Structure 1
Amino acid sequence: MTPTDRRAALRAGAAAALTGALTAACGTDRPAGTPAPGAPSPAPTAPPGPRRFPGSPAEITHGPRDRARIALTFHGQGDPALARAVLTEAERAGARITVLAVGDWLDRHPRLAGRILDGGHELGNHTQRHLDVNALTEAQAYAEIDACARRLRRLTGSIGAWFRPSRTPHASPHVRRAAARAGYPHVLSYDVDSLDFTSPGAPAVVRNVTGSVRNGSVVSLHLGYADTVAALPALLADLDRRGLRAVTTTELLT
């Protein structure tokens, strides 16, 4: 299998997982989404785009409280080496994450889009330049969201699964309208803030999450901070002890 075929197969597996259709192959060590020996390679599959969840609000802060699942969501910008370290730590623990990427960060580091998806994770939109999106006019907000969406489509074939407003946990009504116009039926907020962007130290990041997280929580984290990378092994181990499974946001809500 060529590298191109392998990436297509891995993306097909990630897409299936995000819709709840992926099942692990029994009795093998093959990565999910990789065809069995001798089987034909699947056709390239674009990453899943935004989905509408009937009955869910325009702005989603958490998932169902009756299932032991949580979503670790990462604001996507900063040092690419730290971003790769986050992905590696998550994958080591069997966790899937959601990355809301800033468009101009993807412009500078385009290979990270494929790296995120190839790891079975989910990729979304965090505006093009990470401005205070609520302070913009509706037309300006739409331009920021749409510019990032176009980067995502160019790199992955999809505008991404989610939109998260930049520099605010909650989108104003006019930003929600702009996001819907750009193709995102729901805005993704969160109910647990790690405060990792304040660089409080890894133990504090762990405490900030574990002290508030519960079934259905959506946790806010960042890719570009060393404290976040250092906190992840202990954080993921604590979630595992509590029986909380870290899944993508789409899996959380499906």
Structure 2
Amino acid sequence: MILNCVETTKRVVAFTFDDGPDVNYTPQILDLFREIGGKATFFMIGNQVKANPELARRALAEGHEIGNHTNTHPNLTDLSPDEVIRELSIAAQNIKEVTGIEVRTFRPPYFGYNETVHSIVTDKFGYPAIGAMNMNATDWSNPGVEHIVEHSVDHLSAGSILIFHDGWGDRSQTVEAVRQLIHMAADRGYQMVTVSELLQLAACEV
């Protein structure tokens, strides 16, 4: 039910970031991708978009994708169906009001996902639920730059989706790890694309 990668022969990889936009760390991540020439997907929290609208607009203006990460970051499996709908709807509304776009992708907070949530996400909103290959990197827990890199670098492979966090706490380790990883990806000939671009490339090869 959750997509961690796609099958493709193209040397493309999708870096993704959760829990922003954050005034301290999102700009640093955006600067890194501007320097390397890649794109990423930012799964943004609706109320954070409302609090930092200029960062959401900057991400979009620089070619990145914004995905839905709910409005307040609850575990959706703890909510009623109506509450799940409300979380997703308000987040989408806040993002649209700030950026003018309709979001097309979704990542569940805490990866809290079940059949009920899946039905709402796919049937009502039409979102693919996006996971990641490098779950053991656990950058959210600040395990050290070396740990984040070590548990991500093996997943720099065609069609992989990688998860990091640009909000909710000190993300300086993430910034440095991502700096190293995107240079490794570029040196290996990988293009960094958004999740939607990755899905479109895969669809073209079916």
Compute the TM-score of the two structures, normalised by the length of structure 2: 0.88
**Stretch moving more, 210-219 or 181-190:** 181-190
Q: Percent identity?
A: 25
Cα distance in 2 for residues equivalent to 1:251 and 1:79: 24
Partners of 1:171 and 1:68 lie apart in 2 by: 30
Matched, 1:62 2:8: no
2:195 matches 1:249: yes
Q: Does 1:76 align with 2:22?
A: no
If asked which structure has higher relative contact order (CA below 8 Å, sep 6+), I would say: 2
Q: Secondary structure at 1:72's aligned position in 2?
A: strand
Q: Alignment RMSD, CA only?
A: 1.6
Paired residues in the alignment total 196
Aligned twin of 2:122: 180
Shift of 1:238: 1.1
Contact 1:171 1:187 in 2 (8 A): no
* Structure 1 residue ranges without an equivalent (≥5): 1-57
Which amino acid in the other structure matches residue 133 of structure 1? Answer: L
Shift of 1:78: 6.3
- Structure 1 runs of 4+ with >3 Å offset: none
Q: Secondary structure at the match of 2:17?
A: strand
Please say if 1:199 is aligned against 2:145. no
After superposition, residues 105-254 of structure 1 pair within 5 angstroms as 105-168=48-111, 171-193=113-135, 194-224=137-167, 225-254=171-200
Separation (CA, whole Å) in 1 of partners of 2:79 and 2:177: 34
Q: How far apart are the structure 2 equivalents of 1:203 and 1:214?
A: 19
- In the TM superposition, residue 89 of structure 1 has moved relative to its aligned partner by 0.6
Flag the structure with higher helix content: 2
Q: Look up the equivalent residue of 1:238 and give its one-letter code.
A: M
Q: What SS does the corresponding residue of 1:200 show, helix, strand or coil?
A: coil
- State the AA in 2 paired with 1:145: L
What displacement does 1:221 show?
Answer: 0.6
Query: Normalising by the residue count of structure 1, what TM-score does the alignment of the two structures yield?
Result: 0.72
Distance 1:171 1:242 in 2: 34
State the Cα distance separating 1:196 from its structure 2 match. 0.8
